[in-house]
Amino acid sequence: MAPEEPQQTASEEPDRVPLDLFRQAVEQSALAISITDPQSRILYANTAFQRVTGYDTAEITGQKESILSYKVTPKLVYETMWAQLLRQRPWNGLLVNRRKDGSRYLAELTITPVVGEDGKTSHYLGMHRDVTEMHRLERQAQNSKRRLESLVDAAQVAIVMLEEKEGGKDRVVLDNQEYKKLIGDLGPEPVRPILAALRARLGAGFDEARRKGQALAPQEIHVDRPDGRRRWFACSISWIDELDGEADTFYEPRRHRFMLLTFQDITPLKEQQEAIRINGLRALLAEQERIQSLREALSGAVFQLQGPFNMLAAALRILERKVEARQGDVNDPVLASLQEAMKSGSEALETLRACVPTQATEATSTVNLNEVLRDVLHLATPKLLANGVVVEWQPDPALPPIAGRPRQLTTLFKHLVDNALEAIHEARRKQRELRISTLPHADHVAITVEDSGPGIPEEWRLKAFEPFFTTKGADHQHMGMGLTVAQEIVAGHGGFIEIDPEFNGGCRMRVQLPLV
């Protein structure tokens, strides 16, 4: 509520103010006021004028206002000022003035022509104030801003500040050169995919930190570029609250929140780490394949020996019955020889079975199949390039995780991709394509591996999963255990694998693995 105005008495005239009151008001004003004649000679100066300029009344009266002028004020400023005044228009501007003691100050000056009844300028009313300190503070703020911008631009990390708005429409208010360099790779606003990746990584923790204004420790995130390449960043966030400068917030302060995001490109480091990891995975899989080959060889030997051994066992049983029927000599040399052969054969088979390497156990963990398939494609890159195979990789961006054994799943899909590449090579067609896709369903994840090879005949589609079945021939040194191993791994995960009978453009392997 506005303060009440004083009540007027009947003797006061509301439309007239005493002349002495005008004089006292001007004399006591905190604003430096002077009155000059048309030639700018000072006729009157108030106390504030004397305090600002250092001249007393006797010294300044009769002097021209130019006594205060200092040479650094451009001539054009004075010319503009007099052009306005001669047209009987007020002028407002800044002049560098000099006090009596020679010190300089910046004056914000307003000059108004006093026009008489004859239409001529009779006097000039000048009002000015010392704004030197305000100018110093403004320059200090500008210099601080320039230094900050220079410091930010010189930083070797990308820096961006956003003003947070309602509805998520945050506005970039500050960035540096390192941030601008990312526009070509990540789009016109690189901060958007960066924040999306941070939210995906931190989940509800991001919004909680934002609500409380808590700084976020450096987080490693990645952004996939349109060309398929992945860029890695180490990101950290802090929030800054700033007071609103609008007039209506003087008594009721209102705050604006800003988000300061810094992120450094660590792609080379991550690529180096990834190369080391892939090489380690390649060596591990090579060792697993060597052991698997040994298992296949020994299992094949046992399988091949088991047939003659079974025939020998059958012959022994027949001979034993004949000897019993004729009540012959139990020390029959033929019978004894067969019994000794059976004993030796059993021991040999048991020895071979004992030599078959056991499969190493692997703990179950949460697995992203997109990452597994990406690793398999990395491992197959040399073969893909050597055979000129075009890969169509279609991962579902929101693929849910499954519970599985990562190394076994990598082995599973490596078998499928290797089989596909061999089929493409065997076909010797111009069209050499490998298509891999992932797709989530209500209770499982579906993975398809398609190739442009000759396909598998219908009569072989079930046999292909049998041990030691191969269509490659002995000269290719295939024992036919690849799909058998794949089926074992899928079955161990509670899933399903099949050769799509409706696909005719080559071979399509369909794998279904249950969700967590």
**Residue 370, token pair as written in the block:** 């997109």
pLDDT confidence tier of residue 99, bands split at 50, 70 and 90 = very high
Residue 10 has what pLDDT? Answer: 47
Residue 475 has what pLDDT? Answer: 46
Give 213-236 pLDDT, tens digit per residue.
888 888 998 888 766 678 899 999
Specify which residues 300 forms β-bridges with: none
User: Lowest-pLDDT range, 343-357, 385-399, 436-450?
Assistant: 343-357
Q: Residue 18 pLDDT > 70, yes or no?
A: yes
**CATH code given to domain 365-514:** 3.30.565.10
Do 285 and 270 meet the contact criterion of CB atoms below 8 Å apart? Answer: no
Question: How much of the chain exceeds pLDDT 90, in percent?
Answer: 33
Distance CA 485, CA 51 (A): 99
Q: Count CB atoms within 10 A of the CB of residue 171.
A: 10
User: Lowest-pLDDT range, 275-279, 289-293, 307-311?
Assistant: 289-293
pLDDT confidence tier of residue 275, bands split at 50, 70 and 90 = confident
Strands (E), 3-155: 32-36, 42-45, 91-98, 104-115, 121-130
For the chain, percent helix, then strand, then coil, each to nearest 5?
A: 45, 25, 30
Top mean pLDDT of 122-131, 318-327, 425-434, 447-456 is at 122-131
Give 319-372 pLDDT, tens digit per residue.
777 777 766 555 677 777 777 777 887 887 788 777 777 766 788 999 999 999
On the question of a common fold for 19-135 and 155-245+252-265, the answer reads yes
Q: Which residue has the tokens 């005949």?
A: 457
Mean pLDDT over residues 471-479, rounded?
49
pLDDT confidence tier of residue 469, bands split at 50, 70 and 90 = low
**Residue 107, token pair as written in the block:** 């004056």
Q: Which residue has the tokens 């802090």?
A: 238
Cβ burial of 411 (10 Å; 0-12, 13-18, 19+) is: buried
| Residue closest to 281 by CA, chosen among 423, 393, 409 | 409
Cβ burial of 274 (10 Å; 0-12, 13-18, 19+) is: middle
**Residue 457, token pair as written in the block:** 């005949």
**CATH code given to domain 155-245+252-265:** 3.30.450.20
Residue 278 has what pLDDT? Answer: 85
Q: Residue 387 pLDDT > 70, yes or no?
A: yes
Residue 304 has what pLDDT? Answer: 74
User: Lowest-pLDDT range, 70-74, 403-407, 465-469?
Assistant: 465-469
Average pLDDT value for the chain: 84
129 dihedral zone (left: phi>0; alpha: psi -120 to 50; beta)? beta
Output 152 or 223, whichever has higher pLDDT: 223
Residues shown for the chain: 516
Q: Residue 301 pLDDT > 80, yes or no?
A: no
Instruction: Give buried/exposed letters for 175-210 (b at 16+ CB in 10 A, else e).
Output: bbebbeebeebbeebbbebbbebbeeebeeebeebb
Top mean pLDDT of 144-158, 206-220, 364-378 is at 364-378
| Residue closest to 159 by CA, chosen among 237, 220, 97, 88 | 237
Distance CA 40, CA 135 (A): 27
pTM of the model: 0.55
Distance CA 194, CA 221 (A): 8
Domain 19-135, what fold?
Beta-Lactamase (3.30.450)
Residue 79 has what pLDDT? Answer: 94
Q: Count CB atoms within 10 A of the CB of residue 152.
A: 19
Domain ranges of the chain: 19-135, 155-245+252-265, 271-355, 365-514
**Residue 447, token pair as written in the block:** 């993975």
Distance CA 17, CA 25 (A): 11
Q: Residue 9 pLDDT > 60, yes or no?
A: no
Mean pLDDT over residues 275-294, rounded?
80
Q: Count CB atoms within 10 A of the CB of residue 476.
A: 10
